[in-house]
Structure formats: structure tokens, C-alpha cells
Amino acid sequence: MSNHFPSPLSANEAEFGRLLGDLLRKQGWKVLEQPGDEHLRADLAAERSGKNYVFEIKRASEGRRDRVIPLLSEAALQAAYVSNQLPGKPFPVAVVVANYLPEPIAEQAKASLRKLAPHVAVGLMDSEGFRSFSGFDLEFLDSERRPGSAVPSRKLRAHAPQLFSDLNQWMLKILLAPAVPESYLSAPRGHYEGASQLAAAAGVSVMSAFRFVEQFSKEGFLEQSSGRLRIVRAEELVNRWLGAAQKRNLEVPMRMILQRGKGALAGALRSYISASDIPPNQRLKSRNELPSKHSRACLGLFAAAEQLGVGFVHGAEPHVYVERMNQELLSLLGLSAKGADNQADTYVRVPVNRESVFRGVVLKDGVPSSDIVQVWLDVSGHPSRGKEQADLIYRRILAPAFEANE
């Protein structure tokens, strides 16, 4: 895009872009390669029945009217600009995404854009599965919010994006790692004097580690003593971290099409990982164009807790984390969305904080599982006795790790 417009998609926006692309493919659309000229490149381009579309995607930090409508107008301006520059003038579509988007706000936003830019189609999406589109026959993408979705509090939404970003959570895990057995967390184990050493261990940029140290020191959760970085004020940090973790991930019900029953999902993951040629927790420099066999996947929530030997809740539907929602990957895992709305065998999650989720993955008996910190975060707010499971993990494993740091 030109310098008058913001930079390319953030990681969160890109995830919605991949989701939207997958939804279009399932309906027989073709997602198009785009020109090399950055001034003519949309966030997503697609074609159906000889008609071309360009999509511009913006992420709202909150699903408020004063956040959503200005971003939607900006996306419409960008989509119209790209459309006018390309041969055939493809249909422009403006999309705004958010962690949670109230339906009345979506309706107000659509009405506003119809007045301001009637020649641009509009789409609103959130992490709860809600989708609302209008214009150019895109209404087939509409989807109601999944039952049981809750509105995260304003306080939780405010803290999550800044302090507990994806890589920040991964670096927190690394600081805890020396006191957590390797059978529960795959992470470097050492002591770090400052940001540069932490960056090298975490596999992140020095700037990312510097921001992490600066942010957590400013909040009073990190200090340098005895020549190393140490976590302090653990109780408040735990409460803040758990609060930030309550934001919703994209989650889709699935049916097992090859085999069902206890251990079926773990067996499918074992086969998938053994057929792949990269470790399930390896950091990848570029994932957008990788084949499905390179996508990371692992057990999550209660299924992961059971695999790690700390399971407390039995009978809950198993969860699996996948790096991206892709039909080829789902087929390799023996999963299908057909009929899952009535009776789900498992739930597939695409994590918002993918690096924090996948870099700590533990491989036990050939089965990749979320690390113990991730399981603790994920189950803490789950209605199926999640608090009891989280409390067990904290008492047995994590409380000693926080104490060792302090």
C-alpha cells in the first residue's frame, strides 16, 4: 500500500485474513496471487465465477462504535483505492475484526458505511465466530456467535494486548522454565542478566526482549538481582496473566471421521507429527506459504493435562491447537466439520498467541501437548471444572516455580 496507508496486516489481522481465505475456498472461491507492486496489493484477493474481489482488513482493539466505524471507513478507502488501480476494477470489500464485536455495533457500522461508501461491501468478524457481511452477495459468509461465548471485561481487554503479548508470554515461560521440569515445558533453561541474553535464549529480537524487560519492570513484576532477571510480585502477576488469557481463540467443533474414542485424537496427532519433518515446537521464520504438513499442532486444555499426567477433569471434549485452519491439515488429523454442530467429538483452536502456545509444546510418547503453563492458562476459565484443574496445576507445579524465581 502507499505511504498514506498503515503498514501490512498485524499477526492478529493476518489470522483473520487466513480464516477468511479458508472460508472462501470452502465455497469454491479461488484466492489469488497478487501483484508484486505494494501499492496495488490488498490484504486478500479472491475470484468467483469470473468476478474479482479485493479485501482490506483492519483490527479494532475493542468492539466499540468509536473504534470500529473509523477503521471500517479507512478499510473502505484502501479497498476502493486498490480496486481503482487494478484492471477490471475488482469489487472492494472493507473488513473490520475484533476479539469481540457486539451485533448492534456491527449493524451500526454496516449502516454507516452504506451511507459513506455504498460502492464498497462490508464485513465484520470476531474471535467468537460472529461474522456479518453486506454487499456483492457476500452474505453467505454470515455466521452467528457460538453458544456460550462471553464478553470479556473491559479491564481484561485493556491489559491483554500490551503486557501479555504473544512473545511476552513466551519469555515469561522461559523465566519460569528452570524451576519447571522438562516433561512439562519445552524451553531453554538458564539465568539471564539482561535483554540480550534473554533474546538469544527465546529466539526473539533484542528489541522484543528489551520491550519485555522494560514493560514488566515498569509494572513491578521484574527486577534484576544477584546478576539475573527475576520475577517478583508473583501473586499479582498471576492474576493479571490469568485475566489476559481469558480472551477467546478461534474455536471450531469437529467430528472424528477415521476413529473415535479415548486416545483417537492423540493417536492422530502422533501419526501427523511422526510424518512431519520438523519438531512440533520449532519456530518457523515464514509460515504463510508452508504446506500443511509443516503446520504445528498439539493437544490442548484437559486433553493436554491428561497427556502430561496431571489430568483432573474427565469426560470433557478434547481440544487440539492448530497453527492455521486448513482443510488439508484437518483431513490429515481425521477431522471434519460436517455434522459437528449437532455433536462434536473435539474442538479445534487457532491460538491468538501462537508462538507462546507452540514453542513450549511437550512431546510425550510421541504426542505433542501444550505445555503446563499453557494448560493452566487455558483451563482456568473453562466452565467444566476448569478452576479445579488450574488450581491443581498451580499448587503442584507452578507455585513452586514462581517461588523459586522470587
In a domain, 393, yes or no: no
Q: How many CA atoms does the CB half-sphere of 45 hold within 13 Å?
A: 15
Percent of the chain with pLDDT over 70: 83
Exposed, middle or buried, 178 (CB in 10 Å: 0-12/13-18/19+)?
A: middle
Q: What pLDDT shows up at residue 371?
A: 95
pLDDT of 34 over the 80 cut: no
49: Cβ contacts below 8 Å, ≥ 6 apart = none
Determine the Cα angle at 173 with ends 282 and 375, to 5°.
Answer: 85
**Measured between alpha carbons, how far is 74 from 328 in angstroms, rounded to an integer?**
34
Helix (H, G, I), strand (E, B) or coil at 347: strand
* b/e 111-122 (16+ beta carbons within 10 angstroms → b): ebbeeebeebbb
What pLDDT, on a 0 to 100 scale, did the predictor assign at position 159?
41
Q: Does some domain include residue 396?
A: no
**222/41: higher pLDDT:** 222
Average pLDDT over all residues of the chain: 81
* Residue 167, pLDDT score: 93
Lowest model confidence (mean pLDDT) among 150-164, 215-229, 270-284, 382-396: 150-164
Residue 285 neighbours by CB distance under 10 Å: 4
Among 116, 151, 186, give the residue marking a domain's end: 151
With respect to residue 188, please indicate whether it lies within any of the assigned structural domains: yes
36 and 112 together in one domain? yes
> Does residue 168 carry a pLDDT above 90?
yes
Split into its structural domains, the chain has a count of 3
Q: Please name every residue paired with 126 in a beta bridge, in sequence order, or none if there are none.
A: 98
Residues 277 and 355 reside in one and the same domain: yes
**Single-letter residue type at 26:** K
Domain hosting residue 119, numbered range: 11-151
Residues 114 and 139 in one domain: yes
Q: Angle 386-393/372-379 helices, nearest 10 degrees? A: 150
271 and 364 assigned to the same domain: yes
- CATH assignment at residue 189: 1.10.10.10
Handedness of CA 278, 273, 374, 127 (dihedral sign): positive
Of 105, 122, 151, the residue that ends a domain is 151
- Residue of higher predicted confidence among 70 and 295: 70
Q: Does residue 358 sit in the same domain as residue 330? A: yes
Q: Are residues 218 and 142 in the same domain?
A: no
Of 173, 167, 175, 197, which is closest to residue 185 (Cα–Cα)? Answer: 173
**294: which strand partners?**
none
Question: Is 298 found in the same domain as 212?
Answer: no
Quick check: is 2 in a domain? no
**What is residue 398's three-state secondary structure?**
helix
Taking residue 290's Cβ as centre, other Cβ atoms within 10 Å add up to 14
The predicted structure's pLDDT at residue 156: 39
* DSSP secondary structure string for all residues of 66-94: HHHHHHHHHHHHHHHHHHHHSTT-PEEEE
Mark whether 146 and 267 lie in a shared domain: no
Reading the block at residue 283, the C-alpha cell is 519456530
Whether 181 and 240 map to the same domain: the answer is yes
What is the pLDDT, as a whole number, of residue 101?
Answer: 84
pLDDT tens string 68-116: 898 999 889 989 988 888 888 899 999 998 878 888 889 989 998 888 8
